[in-house]
Structure 1
Amino acid sequence: MSKVILITGASSGMGKATAELLLKKGYIVYGAARRTEKMKDLKQAGAKILEIDVTNDQSMVLGIQQIIENEKQIDILINNAGFGLYGAIEDVTMESAKYQMEVNLFGLARLTQLVLPHMREQSNGMIVNISSIGGKIANPLGGWYHASKFALEALSDSLRMEVKQFGIKVVVIEPGGVKSEWSDIAMENAQKTSANGLYGKMIQKMIETGKKFKDRNAEPEIIANLILKVIASRKPKTRYSGGFMAKPLLLLRKILSDSQMDKMILGQFK
């Protein structure tokens, strides 16, 4: 029987590309997002569409109930929903910071809680958490985004060890630069939050640097193929990376000191 997969954040970018690829490979795909109107093409391709807001507990509970009622199982959860709240830590309101953590971490954790009993009953399953190289490397002006992804890395490590006894695997994907609406939203948030204050020059430099590299970002299909490789593997690794500059930057993070990394990163803001 085909495996049943739930993908959050499936209305655009990496989530949508992954849903499209997995449908072509014969998986039963449930695509979840708030903006279901953006998934009409996925529905026509055979995906089953769920309106799920990862900050709304009831929508998550009902979504999982619907999958189990329809399929009697759920094999793979791909936690892809997320966004980047950018702006200086001094400027970002606590309300906004809490919302960033709610979307990128707590919503993901709650959805994971909801699928685990079903995977445990099956004695198998897989949780794929979409992190970022920003879960290992922090840039200025993205403190709360990085905090959410650093936390996701640790949460995934703990979860992996907890659920191994039940035959459930946990894998982290760390994308680098990928073409999507993510960066536009992040830069818009940064401008709204800090462009007119003490950090305005840093914001402007960050936006200019982002524009320089935008065309070199990887297509979302690169990450979709990486996810396919993970879920098709009998013994997947704990972490995978892909996309523009992902592997070189992660290597530099391993070999450079904090002060060397700071110097390299801040060099982009001069």
Structure 2
Amino acid sequence: MAKTVLVTGASSGIGKATATLLAQSGYVVYGAARRINRLKALSEYGVKPVTLDVTSDDSIVSCVNLITSEAGGIDILINSAGLGSYGALEDVPIAEAKNQLEINLFGAARLIQLALPGMRKKKFGKIVNLSSIGGKVGLPMGCWYHASKFAIEGLSDSLRNEVRQFGVDVIVVEPGGTKTGMMDIGGDDLMRVSGHTEYSKLAAALKRSYENMEKNSSDPLVIAKLIRKSIEAKVPKARYAGGAMAKPMLLLRKMLPDRLFDKMLMAQMK
């Protein structure tokens, strides 16, 4: 019997590629996003569109209830919805910081809470949390984005050992540079917040770095295939990394002392 999958953030980027690929691979896929009109194109691939605002508890509950009533529950939850909001810590309003954490962390956690009872009952479940190499490597001007991704890594590590006893796997996927448009949007956001402050020189250098990364990024399908590999593994790994520069960057982060790693990182932003 085909497994039921909920993919959040399905209107674009990695979420869209993943929802489409899994539907074509025989899964029953619900693709969720705030703007359901942006999901209509996915219907031709068999993706079922559903409205979801991960910052609204009512919306999250309604989404899960709909899938439960139609399909009997969620077998595989893929938390792909995300936001990249940038600027120097000193410049970013706390309201924007809280919104970042609501989308990247708390929304994912709430969906997990609601999906787990059904998974425990079936003694089967897969929870895939989209992190980033930014969950291991912190760039300047991205304090709140990196805080959210470091947090999803820690949440996943803890959760993995809570729910293993119920036959539920928790998997972290760490994309490197991926053509999602997030880096272009992030660069513009960066300049809006810090382009005219004491951090303007660093902001301009980082925006140029983002533009170069976007040019050399991987197609979202690369990460979608990695996600499919992770959920189809009999014994999945705790983490899967892929996309441009993901594995080399994670290896350097692991091997180099902090001071040397910082020096290498900042050399790219001149």
TM-score normalised according to structure 1 size: 0.98
Q: Residue 175 of structure 1 aligns with which residue? A: 175
User: Given residue 254 of structure 2, which amino acid in structure 1 is its aligned partner?
Assistant: K
User: Given residue 253 of structure 2, which amino acid in structure 1 is its aligned partner?
Assistant: R
User: Given residue 128 of structure 2, which amino acid in structure 1 is its aligned partner?
Assistant: V
Q: Residue 38 of structure 1 aligns with which residue? A: 38
Aligned counterparts of 2:152 and 2:228: Cα–Cα separation in 1: 21
Q: CA deviation at 1:213?
A: 2.9
Query: Quick check: 155-164 or 260-269, which moved more?
Result: 260-269
Contact 2:73 2:115 in 1 (8 A): no
Q: Residue 18 of structure 2 aligns with which residue? A: 18
**SS of the residue 1:159 aligns to:** helix
Q: CA deviation at 1:211?
A: 1.8
* Unaligned stretches of 5+ residues in structure 2: none
User: Given residue 129 of structure 1, which amino acid in structure 2 is its aligned partner?
Assistant: N
Aligned residues: 270
**SS of the residue 2:225 aligns to:** helix
Q: Residue 151 of structure 1 aligns with which residue? A: 151
Aligned counterparts of 1:127 and 1:120: Cα–Cα separation in 2: 12
Query: Quick check: 176-185 or 209-218, which moved more?
Result: 209-218
Query: Quick check: 137-146 or 211-220, which moved more?
Result: 211-220
Mapping of residues 68-147 of structure 1, within 5 Å? 68-147=68-147
Mark the CA change 1:181 to 1:214 in structure 2 (over 3 Å): closer, same or farther.
closer
Mapping of residues 139-218 of structure 1, within 5 Å? 139-218=139-218
Aligned counterparts of 1:114 and 1:213: Cα–Cα separation in 2: 36
TM-score normalised according to structure 2 size: 0.98
**SS of the residue 1:269 aligns to:** coil
Aligned counterparts of 1:170 and 1:183: Cα–Cα separation in 2: 27
Residues 64-83 of structure 1, C-alpha deviations (whole Å, 9 max, x = no match): 11111111131100000011
Q: CA deviation at 1:192?
A: 0.9
Identity %: 52
Q: CA deviation at 1:44?
A: 2.4
Q: CA deviation at 1:47?
A: 1.0
Q: Residue 58 of structure 1 aligns with which residue? A: 58
Residues 98-143 of structure 1, C-alpha deviations (whole Å, 9 max, x = no match): 1111110011101110100110111110100000000000010001
Residues 162-195 of structure 1, C-alpha deviations (whole Å, 9 max, x = no match): 0011110000000000001211221121111000
